[in-house]
Amino acid sequence: MVTDLKTLLILGTGKDQVFGIEKAKEMGLYTVGLDINEFSGGARLVDEFYKVNIKDEKEVVEFIEKYNNPIDGVIAFGVDIPEILARVAELKGVFYYTDYETALLSKDKYKAKKRMKEYGVRLPNFSKIETFEDLAKKTKDFGYPCVLKPVDNSGARGVLRITEDVDLKWAFEYSKSFSKNGYLILEKFLDGMQISSESFIVDGRVYTVGLSERNYEFLDKFAPFIIENGGDLPPPLNNKQRKEIDEQISRCAEAFGVRNGIIKGDLVIHDGKVFVIEVALRLSGGHFSSVEIPLNTGVDFLRYAIQMSLGEKVNPDNLRYTIKKYVALRYIFPNKKGTIKRLRFPEWFKEKNEVIVYDFYYKIGDKANYPIKSHPERLGFFIIAANNRQEVASTIKKTYEDTVVEIV
């Protein structure tokens, strides 16, 4: 369809993408959405929808080659497909953060770390693992605990915290089963405050808008699987630590050739220093950029991300913030393995202004796994915003007490 409006191609129209689609519509853009699920939450919201597997590069390219109407920008909200975004941008002559080959490299956790190391990014010790013998040797070299994970997966799939109690042969086979490339990466586990970050890069300068302290309260409960239970904004960081985060992200941006773009970071403050665990050349999922950051900072993050995807300059003044709210994300977990009989959030959610967003990923009749082994097995989530940490903590406690989860 020919239109005078700017057209934004959105890869992914699921629940996680709805906020982004709504923001694009609010900005007066014409939206074209692709998703494998024609019944996804955002499929009916876009102006044009096409059933396409957005994680299949060949399928996306075939669609682009047949789609004759102009496209002014391409974006994905919370989907880890930078190489496909780069390919679409290349084919349509529109903006993306970096070139295709670099975007593809950034998806491989080992190759990405090698590149970052060349640019002086501070990283935990890491090594490529191709055989069980590699794992046995490097675990001994690094010392316990370590983290073993596929180089090419997400959502904590196949990620294990390796301690003396873990069978290394089992760990190697289990983690490898989640790797398409057939090899793994081993990293030294560093204790300390775990941080999620989301930064704009504007003309080579870093503006870290989003910072959250990741909540790993269940690290022992679900061991050796590493399952996060949301996070808290703002984290208790001092100015020196915030500055150092920007410095490390700046080196990451340089490593991947990003002068204008968005970098999502997983960091740890260890022995007073900032270490980079992973970065991704994309917007985060889990409502971090769409809900949590705007609530915490007042910055309309998605608006400027979309603006950047259209090749427009982002004014750094719009990225300045003052803390407005304390925000927390928490997840609902299964309490046993079986069939879900009842799932219900508290009735008072509807009246309480502090509970901003909440939803279940599962429905009655679905099978629940326990203990869970990856993030997609969490049952649901809720996001709370309040004027102080005490209010947030109180609401979290009451939510867990009053939420109904019945599995038979």
Residue 311: is its pLDDT beyond 60?
yes
Report whether pLDDT(211) > 80.
yes
Confidence of residue 45 (pLDDT cuts 50, 70, 90): very high
Per residue in 351-408, pLDDT (tens digit) is 777 788 999 999 999 999 999 999 999 999 999 999 999 999 999 999 999 999 999 9
pTM of the model: 0.94
Instruction: Read off the pLDDT band of 267 (50, 70, 90).
Output: very high
In tens, the pLDDT along 63-121 reads 999 999 999 999 999 899 999 999 999 999 999 999 999 999 999 999 999 999 999 99
Check whether 323 has a pLDDT greater than 80: no
In sequence order, which residues have a C-beta less than 8 Å from that of residue 189 and are 6 or more positions away?
124, 145, 146, 147, 161, 162
- Spatial contact of 363 and 382, defined as CB atoms under 8 Å apart: no
The mean per-residue pLDDT over the stretch 325-348 comes to 95
What is the average pLDDT across 252-261? 98
pLDDT tens per residue across span 105-158: 999 999 999 999 999 999 999 999 999 999 999 999 999 999 999 998 877 889
Mean pLDDT of 262-277: 97
> What distance in Å separates the CA atoms of residue 32 and residue 88, rounded to the nearest whole number?
13
Enumerate domains of the chain plus CATH numbers.
7-96 (3.40.50.20), 125-188 (3.30.1490.20), 325-408 (3.30.470.20)
pLDDT at 351: 79
pLDDT of residue 176: 95
**Would the pLDDT of 1 be above 60?**
no
Looking at residue 3, its pLDDT comes to: 65
Task: Tell me what pLDDT residue 16 has.
Answer: 87
More confident residue, 11 or 2: 11
Q: What percent of the chain has pLDDT over 90?
A: 91
Mean pLDDT of 193-209: 97
Average pLDDT over every residue of 335-362? 90
Task: Give dist(CA 77, CA 54) in Å, integer.
Answer: 12
For residues 248-272, average pLDDT: 97
* Among the ranges given (183-197, 240-254, 321-335), the one the predictor scored with the smallest mean pLDDT: 321-335
pLDDT of residue 355: 81
